Structure 1
Amino acid sequence: MEDNQLRLFMESGIYKLNSNALFIDPVRILNRSYTRVRVSPATYYSRFFDSSNSTQSPKAIEDSRKRKRKQKKKPQSLNEREQIADQRHQEVKPFLLKAHEALLEATDLLKDLRNLRNDGCAAGGCKELSQESSELSFLELGSVWQAPLYEIVLNCHQDDKTSQDGGSTLVRSIEQRVTPAFNNLIANEESCDIEAELFNHKYIIPKRSCFYMSDLRQIDNLIPADSDCGFNLIVLDPPWENGSAHQKLRYPTLPNRYFLSLPVKQLCHTSGALVALWVTNREKLRGFVQNQLFPKWGVKYAASFYWLKVKANGMMTGELDLFHHRPYECLLLGYCDGKDTHSGNLTKLNPIPDNQVFISVPGDYSRKPPIGELLLDYLPGSRPARCIELFAREMITGWTSWGNEPLHFQDLRYFVSKTTEK
């Protein structure tokens, strides 16, 4: 059974641990969006692959951690809001521990985890595509008055067969399309990924995907004229306000009240939409979402999923009970009614199981794993579903990506050549 699970994992990037938990490999999932290139596992998994403790078994490391926890002093008394947060943590903790135990018991999967960073690229099996030493700052480019004048070049590959001397020859050409880079819906309707150029930097656009790069003031342009063209799945990863100066240096944040103006209701498909919102573990934020944000958007809470972060050796990236730096994040799920949901469409959906846990090795800072496939069984409306990610920093085939830097992880530096892999 485990061998079959591992074989499916190699193809899909998803490994079912038990009825409550999954392990996912974001690189394998993302690579389904590409035909000419693949996501570089070495670049994606840039953290949590140190060699320390590599000779110890996961059980030995966990036993060592338990001893250290017992030696720690009791925490200081918590205020009222912190007590609520701790109570929420204690409620979900058994599900997280059960999921982690299931991971540690999947020995074949654990062996594969140690190779995630070099998967398919060992011994020169892949070729790096970009030697750029710096990245474009889309935030700076989009904030200047010249932004509407900046253009991006899309290079679409055309394969044509020509007859010659009784035979046929494959001739490959490139058709270029130039279009405004900002405040403009840019689509790749091809069945293969294409390359784009902006200020001498190159980007990979997945097959059958589109993006709209703008600030919050332009998002209304994505509202469809006909709600039948709205979205069945809306995923959001907002840059929540944060008092940490360290985090503000990594990416700019916005006051939480700004997100009240997001036109979530107007983006919904006529059959309704499942809304998936990434939140931090701060109780102040959870209260804001529950009491203000979801009601303003017209979203009814349905369930919570949890992303448990582990290292390549299978151990959690931090102490589970460490109050301010817990190794998991929460995805709040809710439904937004569409025009025809009065007919009972939402009640016919598969019920979303609460407290589901998905486990993965984290990528770059603030980069979320692709979770759309985990939610497809719970979407209202017909298939194929229309999906959008707000505040996106990368793209997925079949999705619309909106934000002020949806091309961030589409930079050529994050990919390797597929034609050279073994």
Structure 2
Amino acid sequence: MSILCNIYKEGWIISHNDCINKIYNLVSGETSSTHSYVLNNSLFLINTPYIKNEQALNFTLECNETSRPTLNIIEPPKKKVKTKTSPHDYIKVNEVEYVQYHFMKVIQEGQICGCFNYVPCLEDLKSNNLKAREKSKLLYENISTQSASNFHGGNESCNAVISEVENKKYIIPANCRFFCYDVKDIEQNLHRLNCPFDLILLDPPWWNKYIRRKNLKNRKSGYQMMYNKDLVEIPITTLIGPGSLVAVWCTNCESHVNALKTSVFPAWGLSYLGKWFWIKVTRSGKPVCSFSDPPGKQPFEQIIFGWKETKERVLPLPPDGMVVVSVPSAIHSHKPPLSELLSTFLPENPQCLELFARYLLPGWTSWGLEVLKLQDIMLYEQKTEEGS
């Protein structure tokens, strides 16, 4: 189980790492033999909150002058910078307070259940998550980027397999399908899809000024961002039926959230249901950065839910305001799988589709120009008989 703790009416603590490792517990190789694969463990060695190296060094020096280090890192106040960004872009203060309050309740219950019992030491602070950062950088620079050609494939077997695509090796989960196509190409490929889908999950490349500036400096690592109006044009209505759920990963930019509620969901024929909050924490349960007043950075992202209303739906709907807590992967945009959490709200053997996918899940259809990116065999390690 990747759900480590279920806190009634509050949320869940999940393990991204455990979920992936369970998926690849039995992998058929290029011969008749089978092996177990795990994600590189260094990617989840998030031992201390995200801070700058200089700040970590200064804090370490301060701790050396005291009898015992305390790792409650408080970020220095940021200088106010004049910006042209509209106040409507900021998440509301009361929503930040809501998330922080419910996060604390989940963490307290989780610690009773034995979660987040790692105790960071001074060396952890000094290294500033170096193993995770270095491994992430090394792998991200070497794994395949966006493919120059379109292709599709899948794995109909009950075991995960190692497969070669465009001279690169990938690990492909059981009973899945994938399409390396732009989302703009969905309409002309409807005959390839098993519509209607019970659930569609999207992780759009939201328009972001900082990412845009970064991409201008380094186009290789960038991806093509989308405006809110571009999302409206995705033909979701042709992919769903009555009672279907749609979940969208979203930043804390209030204008994006409002666009989903007021223009994107109505264009897709959906009604707004509510939102969840994914909170990123260290191995000891500390948020990876401080909760702060808008427009400061937050340790969480949002998952916005909509659905195709029908009176005939008998399954429960996702409740509003739940929190999902996990140690994040050090790899950029490597979101935790939500399949286990969402199974409660879906029929048995559901039809599920992810758009803008960067990895695959068993039983799912995945679509996007980077659909195999995080399936690259370089991200995984073969598990030995001793379990190392």
Q: Does 1:33 align with 2:5?
A: no
- Closer, same or farther: CA 412–199 of 1 in aligned 2, 3 Å: same
Which residue does the alignment assign to 1:300?
A: 271
- Closer, same or farther: CA 384–222 of 1 in aligned 2, 3 Å: farther
Q: Does 1:389 align with 2:354?
A: yes
Instruction: Note if contact 2:7-2:109 (Cα within 8 Å) is conserved in structure 1.
Output: yes
Q: Does 1:109 align with 2:115?
A: yes
1:267-287: CA deviation from partner (whole Å, max 9, x where unpaired): 11x443111111100111112
Residue type matched to 1:361 in 2? V
Which residue does the alignment assign to 1:261?
A: 233
**97, 100, 105: which is aligned to 2:104?**
97
TM-score, length basis structure 1: 0.71
Between stretches 88-97 and 384-393, larger displacement belongs to: 88-97
- Closer, same or farther: CA 224–336 of 1 in aligned 2, 3 Å: farther
1:128-164: CA deviation from partner (whole Å, max 9, x where unpaired): xx999723322xx43xxxx3xxxxxxxxxxxxxxxxx
Deviation for aligned residue 1:16 = 1.8
Measure the CA separation in 1 of the matches of 2:351 and 2:119. 32
Deviation for aligned residue 1:86 = 2.5
Deviation for aligned residue 1:25 = 0.8
Instruction: Note if contact 1:85-1:281 (Cα within 8 Å) is conserved in structure 2.
Output: no
Query: Gaps (5+ residues) in structure 1?
Result: 1-11, 115-129, 148-181
Instruction: Note if contact 1:95-1:355 (Cα within 8 Å) is conserved in structure 2.
Output: no
**Structure with the greater alpha carbon radius of gyration:** 1
Query: Gaps (5+ residues) in structure 2?
Result: 28-35, 51-55, 121-137
1:166-187: CA deviation from partner (whole Å, max 9, x where unpaired): xxxxxxxxxxxxxxxx243x12
Count of residues paired in the alignment: 337
Deviation for aligned residue 1:225 = 8.1
Which residue does the alignment assign to 1:414?
A: 379
Between stretches 259-268 and 192-201, larger displacement belongs to: 192-201
Which residue does the alignment assign to 1:154?
A: none
Instruction: Note if contact 2:93-2:293 (Cα within 8 Å) is conserved in structure 1.
Output: no
Measure the CA separation in 2 of the matches of 1:247 and 1:107. 41
Measure the CA separation in 2 of the matches of 1:73 and 1:44. 28
Which residue does the alignment assign to 1:285?
A: 256
**143, 162, 169: which is aligned to 1:135?**
143
Deviation for aligned residue 1:396 = 0.8
State the percentage of identical aligned residues: 27
Measure the CA separation in 2 of the matches of 1:390 and 1:73. 36
**Secondary structure of the corresponding residue to residue 233 of structure 1:** strand
**Secondary structure of the corresponding residue to residue 109 of structure 1:** coil
**23, 34, 46: which is aligned to 2:13?**
23
TM-score, length basis structure 2: 0.76
1:81-118: CA deviation from partner (whole Å, max 9, x where unpaired): 26763343234432233223334x3373223698xxxx
Q: Does 1:216 align with 2:183?
A: yes
Deviation for aligned residue 1:355 = 1.0
- Closer, same or farther: CA 84–389 of 1 in aligned 2, 3 Å: closer
Query: What RMSD, in angstroms, separates the aligned Cα atoms of the two structures?
Result: 3.4
**296, 300, 305: which is aligned to 1:328?**
300
Measure the CA separation in 1 of the matches of 2:227 and 2:155. 33
Q: Does 1:205 align with 2:213?
A: no
Measure the CA separation in 2 of the matches of 1:107 and 1:315. 16
**379, 399, 420: which is aligned to 2:364?**
399
Deviation for aligned residue 1:299 = 1.4
- Closer, same or farther: CA 133–304 of 1 in aligned 2, 3 Å: closer
Instruction: Note if contact 2:89-2:255 (Cα within 8 Å) is conserved in structure 1.
Output: no
Deviation for aligned residue 1:304 = 1.0
- Closer, same or farther: CA 309–226 of 1 in aligned 2, 3 Å: closer
Measure the CA separation in 1 of the matches of 2:384 and 2:141. 24
Superposed counterparts of 1:50-61, under 5 Å: 61=71
